[in-house]
A = this chain, B = another copy of it.
Amino acid sequence: MAKRETSGAETPYHHGALREALLAATEALLDEAGLESFTLRECARRAGVSHGAPAHHFGDARGLLTAFAAQSFEQLEARTSDYMARAEQRPYERLVANGLAYLDHALGNPHRFRLMFRSDRLDHADPDLSRAAAAVFHHFETCMREVLEAAGRPHADLGPCTAHAWSLVHGMATLMLDNGMFACRVGDYEAARAMFLDLMRRSRPLFEG
């Protein structure tokens, strides 16, 4: 080959922001066709780079997916903060807002949400990922703690109550995504949200005693 392409400034050798470009391509690929049709090579193609380039930034496919999942957890965390800030500032309403953020994140970005819990494709030893995931959990736990304290319930209930609430919202989200059983198809946000709010209303005495 001569030097590069004949024309001038297109496709410089150094991409400059390949890391971000690859993460963006991953997002596009996931949203379009899901994790199963995600391909490292296609990802490189979209970023306009050769198939071997991603290895330099992420090691292998698992590394790229792990980085993307960490980013997704951070987005969830941000959404959670946002919802809680907009909610009525009472403990239970804040908890509900937290759950709603979780649900909306799942239903709004199904493929991204599935990846976040696909332990077989992720490197759970990765510090970024585990930090981001733990942050989401701790946020949730903090909400629950406020609910229990306001209701004067013993601290010993925190673990079980957190497990209960988180299992509930996580189970709902995954069943809605991967099982048609709730008669609430993907995309039917309103029905899903209504169902969640109803369950949270019913569960209230469980947490507030």
The chain A residues found within 8 Å of chain B, CB to CB, are: 34-36, 114, 117-121, 124, 133-134, 137, 160, 163-164, 166-172, 174-175, 177-182, 195, 198-199, 202-203, 205-206
Contact = CB atoms under 8 A, between A and B. Distances in A.
Secondary structure class of chain A's binding surface, majority of residues: helix
A167 B167 contact: yes
Contacts of A170: 171, 174-175
A158 B70 CA distance: 38
Nearest to A181: B137
Given A169-B171, A171-B170, A171-B174, A36 B164 contact: no
Contacts of A179: 117, 119, 133
B34 A120 contact: yes
A177 B171 CA distance: 13
20 contacts: A34-B120, A35-B120, A36-B121, A117-B174, A118-B178, A119-B178, A119-B179, A133-B179, A133-B181, A137-B181, A160-B199, A164-B202, A166-B171, A166-B181, A167-B167, A167-B168, A167-B169, A167-B172, A170-B174, A205-B205
A205 B208 CA distance: 13
B163 A172 contact: yes
A103 B178 CA distance: 18
Contacts of A114: 120
A164 B203 contact: yes
A42 B137 CA distance: 39
A175 B133 CA distance: 12
Given A160-B198, A167-B168, A170-B174, 13 more contacts: A119-B177, A133-B179, A160-B202, A163-B199, A164-B199, A164-B202, A164-B203, A167-B169, A167-B175, A170-B175, A171-B174, A202-B206, A203-B206
